[in-house]
Structure 1
């Protein structure tokens, strides 16, 4: 990074570069913490709790973790967790929901994620909602949306939630969103006594703390299996396979160490120009030029560049003395 000089305009700032470290991808931490405490530790000291995206990562993890330093249970937190509050509608247009998006009509003590496998929502014949396994077969409610007008349609074809969603999107607008008690009543009026139907509410299960989108899973047999066990740990006695644990249990943990390595570089930008270097468009153009120069020098990692603001909130400052002496603006 020190090799880079950007010669174009007139001022100075500090550039921050973030790039991956390819070696030593994981860090085993021999401290007993809850999942949330471990997450905070990893984000402060490294990058985040470990994200595992394939069998190569599993092999690397097994090689790097020293089991002799682990506790009696030989498990360590990783970054996978099941957010029980991540409910969303199949139709995700925020303008459509306006101020009613928080409406719910759950049955008492629901949702409960029974057996750890309930992430789709059915409506009972009394209008109450319940979380159920998405693989169950049942009728569904689609809806048609035209501007502000909504029409609900009963579908008498037993399908799982995903197939119901696909059908509704192909034939109508989507699986039904229910924004308020009036719409809940309209859906309920379409149902037969004793019937249960899919509506469009669901949640994404088991996501990575750092936002990794990998769908790779390495669960032990019978896992995940717990109603309130919403955090994942790797069992190093079982080849690093995963188990769901209660997030409040204190155990060792594994951090990802590769995604973030930050370096600050002070740049000298010399020249004469009336261009405003604190203009966002100009700053963006400078970053693009800098990144291209790095590529030209053979730096091919996924580097992210950003400007560091100074105490007054500005990025660049003129060197007034040198400007007077040299008729130049200097970083």
Structure 2
């Protein structure tokens, strides 16, 4: 019979495997811009590294800390990723989900200006979300929307919660007609609408909220929009211009190798060697022996079945000359 061992093995070069995430990380010392590094990682591996736990931080520090420099990871800030709080795509006609009536010079896309208010001319301004402003909610019935002004000052997230509880949502503005409807409700002042920016993104689309910023980072007033892990600072994250050429870290699946071991067994009296319970007990003993030889628990052991579905087959005697 055959025992198949699946061994997780690191590829050649500077790399390390995370047993928890079943990923292998690769430090690439060739300096590239963020977009060039992303392209390389997607071609050669899976993507730029997503760092989603302290386990991964420690792994990368152990792997690349000796280089005493920073390297790109997959986190970046999409400065123009504006979207509506009312996200149902069926509510928007062609071009309506992209409708914006920004004031000249807007949006500023400062990192802390992630929410939107409109003035009495219904021109849009990006603004600090924790500011207290009046609110425009709307009620949606089929394709139609009715706008409601709420004369109570709230921060943007409170406004969103209030509108969702008492109406449909914070107002979307889909076209010039609705823009005028809102203008008719406003006499002065500034009011929140449902346009906001969710800017932090991982290159591979992961939704991890884990952060490991260096002190005073990210610099919320800067135009730098990509992130590197600084291995001269415990792998903490710096906020850098995406065009800077840096080493970088990719990730990919943990490679697996297979080793086949053939074992000859003398059948005990009254024992069916192909009985599932007997086979399972044999695997337990095999893993104990492997562990005693220094192999870890990531090693998997399985039986290889013969074409007839059996593991063990009787060995025919050969005539001796």
Alignment CA distance shift 1:257-1:154 (3 Å):
same
Secondary structure of residue in 2 paired with 1:30: strand
Match of 1:29 in 2: 28
- Structure 1 moving runs of 4+ over 6 Å: none
Match of 2:212 in 1: 218
Q: Which runs of 5+ in 2 are unaligned?
A: 5-16, 258-282, 285-297, 299-321
Q: State the distance in 1 between where 2:136 and 2:234 align.
A: 44
1:112 aligns with 2:108: yes
Secondary structure of residue in 2 paired with 1:170: helix
Q: State the distance in 2 between where 1:67 and 1:183 align.
A: 58
Deviations 1:33-80 (A, max 9, x none): 110100011111111111011111111111111433x6xxx2111100
Q: Which runs of 5+ in 1 are unaligned?
A: 5-19, 264-296, 302-331
Q: CA deviation at 1:171?
A: 0.2
Q: CA deviation at 1:138?
A: 1.1
Q: State the distance in 2 between where 1:204 and 1:252 align.
A: 27
Deviations 1:141-165 (A, max 9, x none): 1000111221100111211111111
Match of 2:194 in 1: 200
**171, 182, 188: which is aligned to 2:183?**
188
Secondary structure of residue in 2 paired with 1:41: helix
**98, 122, 127: which is aligned to 1:127?**
122
Report 1:298-313 matches (<5 A): none
Is the CA contact (8 Å cut-off) linking 1:175 and 1:200 kept in structure 2? yes
Q: State the distance in 2 between where 1:137 and 1:38 align.
A: 41
Q: State the distance in 1 between where 2:155 and 2:138 align.
A: 17
Match of 1:167 in 2: 162
Match of 1:82 in 2: 77
Number of residue pairs aligned between Structure 1 and Structure 2 = 243
Secondary structure of residue in 1 paired with 2:129: coil
Report 1:1-331 matches (<5 A): 22=19, 25-68=24-67, 74-99=69-94, 100-114=96-110, 116-193=111-188, 195-225=189-219, 226-258=221-253
Q: State the distance in 2 between where 1:153 and 1:184 align.
A: 13
Secondary structure of residue in 1 paired with 2:232: helix
